[in-house]
Amino acid sequence: MARSIQLKDPHREARIYSARTVAAVLLVLGMLGIILARYYSLQVTEYETYRTQSERNRVQLQPLPPKRGLIFDRNGVLLADNRPSYMLSIVREQVADLDATLAELQQLLPISDSDIANFRKKLQRRRPYEAVPLRFRLTEAEQARLAVNRFRLPGVVVDAQLLRYYPHGELFSHALGYVGRINEREVLELDESDYRGTFHVGKVGVEKYYEDILHGDVGYQNVETNAHGRVLRVLERHDPVPGANLVLNLDIRIQRAATEALGERRGAVVAIDPRTGGVLALVSTPGFDTNLFVNGISSKDYSALRDSLDVPLFNRAIQGVYPPGSTIKPFMGMAGLESGLITPEYTVADPGWYSLPGDSHKYRDWILRIRGTGHAPRVDLNMAIAESCDTYFYDLARRLTIDRMYDYLRPFGFGERTGVDTTNERRGVLPSTRWKREAMAQPWYPGETISAGIGQGYMLASPMQLAVATSVMASKGQRRVPRLVHSINGEPVEAPVLDPIAAPDEYWQAIYAGMLEVVHGKRGTAKALAKDIQYQMAGKTGTAQVIGIAQGAVYREEDVAERHRHHGLFIAFAPAEAPTIAVAIIVENGGGSSAASPIARKVIDTWLLGETADG
C-alpha cells in the first residue's frame, strides 16, 4: 500500500512567522514603552524627589553650635569663660563594626562603661552622618595615641569644641552655678533644633536662670561629602549667633573678703546695694569646684560632695532658712511704731523675764543668765534694739498678735521668695494663725507669738531675705527685687521696683538710732566693731537656737556638740547717713552673733574703703 506524503505548506509557515515577528516586535515595543515611561517618571514626574534623595547622599546638613556668653563681675573680671577642648566622637555610618570599634577604643583610652552607655543613648537621637561624642577633654597624649591608630579606626573623629571654664572655681560656685551635659530629661524639655550640636546646658544658678540668653542661636552649614562621608567642600553656611555676655553686680573683692572671713565655718553672706537692688556678694560656705560638673563629675567626687556632713552643694544663701533670732527686732520695732502700739519713748518693765497674763511660765531674757536681772528697770525702744532686750519684744509681740506681725513684716520680704535671679530659692516661713492651720491643722497658741517676737519658733528666713529686709530698712521703705545681673550685652538690667513701705521719717530714724547704738553705743551688742571704724554702721546682732533649752536650764556652749550650738547672725547697713551696702550674715553653730559681726565689718570695709581681702 502506498504511503501518503505530507508536503510543506509555505503559506502557513509564512503566516506563523509573520505572527511571531509581530508578537516579538510588540513585546519589544511594549518593554521599550515601559522603560520610556519609567525614564520619564524618573526624569520628569519624580525628578525633585529623587534629586533630593541623591543630594542627601552627597550633601549633609551640619549644625554649628553657638559660643556661650561670657560672665563678668562688676569690675570686668572674667568669672565664666569658654576654653578650647578636644573630644572623641564617632560617625556611625562610617563604622562597620561598632562594638569592635568601641572595644578597641577602650584599649587605647580610659573610657568608662557610663561613657559607653551615654554614647549609645545619644546614638539613638542623632541625624545621619552626625558625629556623636564619646569622650570629652582629651589630653595631648590621648590625641597622639588616636592619631597614630587612626588608620585602624574609620569613623572615629577628634573634634575641637569650646567648654565652660570657671577661673575662680569655688569662690563663685553658688552664685554662678554651672553647666553640665544634657541629660535624658532635658533632651525632652529643650528645643532639639536649637540645641543641635550642643552637649551642655545650665544646671543651676545664673547659668540656668539665664540659659536662653547665654546659649545663643545655633547655625548650620551644607557640606558636600564623598561616598566615605569625607567633607569635600562647604556649599552654604549660616553662622551661629553667640550667646549674650553678662556683667553681674557681684564684686569679686567683696566675694573674696566674705569667703575668707567665713573661713572653714559653715555659713552665708549676702550683700546688696539698697540704691539699686544689685547683689554685691552671694557666698555660701563650704563651696565646691564647679569645673568638676562641666563634663560629668566622677562617682567618687560626687559621693564626696553629696555625703559630706557640711553639705557643700547646699546654697545656704538662698536655700538655707534659719530662725532670724534678734535680727527681727528692728522690723518688729517698725511694726510697733506703724501700728501705734508704741512710741520711741514707750517703756516696758524688764526684770529679765516675761510672763503672759495668767500664766506662770517665764520667758527669759538672754541677759538674765549674765546679770541675774534685766537690762534696766524700764526699757525704751532705743535700748531694746541696742542691747537686744527680749522682754521688750515679748511684750510687743503679745500686743501685736501673730496675724498683725504677719501683716507688718511681710512687706519687708519675710515669708516669700525675694525673686532674685537665680534658681532654687526657698520662701522661708512667716507664721500666722492661717499658716499653722493649713500647714499643721492646729490652732495658734499665745506662747508661740512670744517666741515669734524675737525671731524664734516657727519663723524662718534665708540670708537673702534678711539682706533684702535690711536693704528696705536702709532705704527707708524702698523695695526692689534683688538682681545678680547688672547688664546683658551692655544693656542695663533694672531691678523691678515694688510698692514702698510708707511710714513717717521719724519712725525710720528711731529704728536707725537703735541700730547705730548696737555698734557705736557703750552697751551695744556689737560695740567691738566700732574700734577704728571710719564710718557709721547701723546693725543688729542675732542668735538662733538650734536645740531647745528647758525652763530653768542653763546653756553652756562648751557642753554642747559643735553642730548643736547656736547660729550667729548679724545684719547691717552703712554708711548710716546714706547707705550704699546692706549685709546679712549667718554662721552656722557659731555660738552667737560674735561669730558673724566681724565678717560684716570686713565686707563693709572692703566696699567702702576699697580694702582688699588681704586688708
* Residues classed as catalytic: 326
298 within 8 A of 440, measured Cβ to Cβ: no
Query: For the packed helices 402-409 and 329-339, what is the interaxial angle rounded to 10 degrees?
Result: 100
> Distance between CA 560 and CA 588 in Å, rounded?
14
Task: Quote the Cα angle for 514-520-522, to 5°.
Answer: 95
CA-based nearest residue to 462, from 589, 315, 333: 315
> Distance between CA 257 and CA 243 in Å, rounded?
31
509 within 8 A of 333, measured Cβ to Cβ: no
**CB-count exposure of residue 19 (10 Å: 0-12, 13-18, 19+):** exposed
Q: Regarding beta strands 71-72 and 178-181, do their DSSP bridges make them parallel or antiparallel, or are they unpaired?
A: unpaired
For 209, the grid coordinates are: 536662670
End-to-end CA distance of the chain: 147
CA distances from 345 to 341, 342, 379, 502 (A): 11, 8, 9, 21
575 prior amide bond cis, ω within 30: yes
Q: Regarding beta strands 267-272 and 246-248, do their DSSP bridges make them parallel or antiparallel, or are they unpaired?
A: unpaired
The three-state secondary structure class of 363 is strand
Q: What is the DSSP letter of 164?
A: E
Per DSSP, what are the bridge partners of residue 491?
488
The three-state secondary structure class of 541 is strand
The residue to which cell 578597641 is assigned: 104
Q: Can you spell out the DSSP letters for 117-128?
A: HHHHHHHTTPPT
> Distance between CA 35 and CA 25 in Å, rounded?
15
> Distance between CA 119 and CA 115 in Å, rounded?
6
The H or E element containing residue 222 is: strand 219-225
CA-based nearest residue to 500, from 476, 533, 469: 476
515 within 8 A of 385, measured Cβ to Cβ: yes
Spatial CB neighbours of 71, under 8 Å, sequence gap ≥ 6: 78, 79, 80, 176, 206, 214, 245, 246, 247, 248
For 300, the grid coordinates are: 567618687
The residue to which cell 528692728 is assigned: 330
Q: What are phi and psi of 408, to 5 degrees?
A: -85, -30
